[in-house]
Amino acid sequence: MHPLITLTVRLLLCCGLTWVAFRQIGLIALPLCSPLFGMALTGPVLDMLGSVPRLARYATYRAFEGRYFEYKGRQIVVNEDPGGYRWVELAAVRRIVPALSPDRRLAKRFPRAFAGPVDQPEAMLRAEELVEVLRAHAEPEAIRFKQWVLEELVAPASLRRSRADGR
């Protein structure tokens, strides 16, 4: 049961028992019933306090969820569109794979998968097409990066899209 519901139920039971005792023996029932409150409420309060670190972590990282990615210590900006496709900032990719095709060529080859102004740091390419571009590169770092893109960007997004479609 949820800790807040447990806390509420136990508090109501303690108040009810204290009221009955108060009606039977008077004011002396209040100090006699106080240990009952302590015993009944300790568990749910500790359960709620135990979830504070998880809630703090969630509140801290909520702004970056699904957008902050790192490859070998290098930050890569990734945006996810409403359709569930992930878009990778090409400036970050070029820091890892300097021999990447120029923006103009990528924009011409993938007109629907290229976003942003050509030859600007904000230019982005959809992750699926980035994998296709990286397949042409034989450098070991490009191959490792392609594998990372597949595992960290393409596969989770594809899985999420298929779950949303009900497949």
- Residue 92 one-letter amino acid: A
pLDDT of residue 150: 93
Burial-class residue 144 by CB neighbours within 10 Å (0-12, 13-18, 19+). Answer: middle
Phi, psi of 119 (to 5 degrees): 60, 30
pLDDT of residue 57: 77
pLDDT of residue 117: 82
pLDDT of residue 76: 87
Q: What is the side-by-side order of every strand in the sheet holding 114-115?
A: 68-71, 74-80, 86-89, 124-126, 114-115
Residue 153 and residue 85 in contact, taking contact as beta carbons nearer than 8 Å: no
d(CA 133, CA 122): 18
pLDDT per residue, tens digit, the chain (167 aa), is 677 888 899 899 999 999 999 999 999 988 998 998 888 888 888 888 888 888 787 777 666 665 678 889 888 888 888 888 899 999 999 999 998 889 899 999 999 889 888 777 788 999 999 999 999 898 999 999 999 999 989 988 888 888 877 65
C-alpha dist (Å) from residue 131 to 7, 137, 156: 52, 10, 14
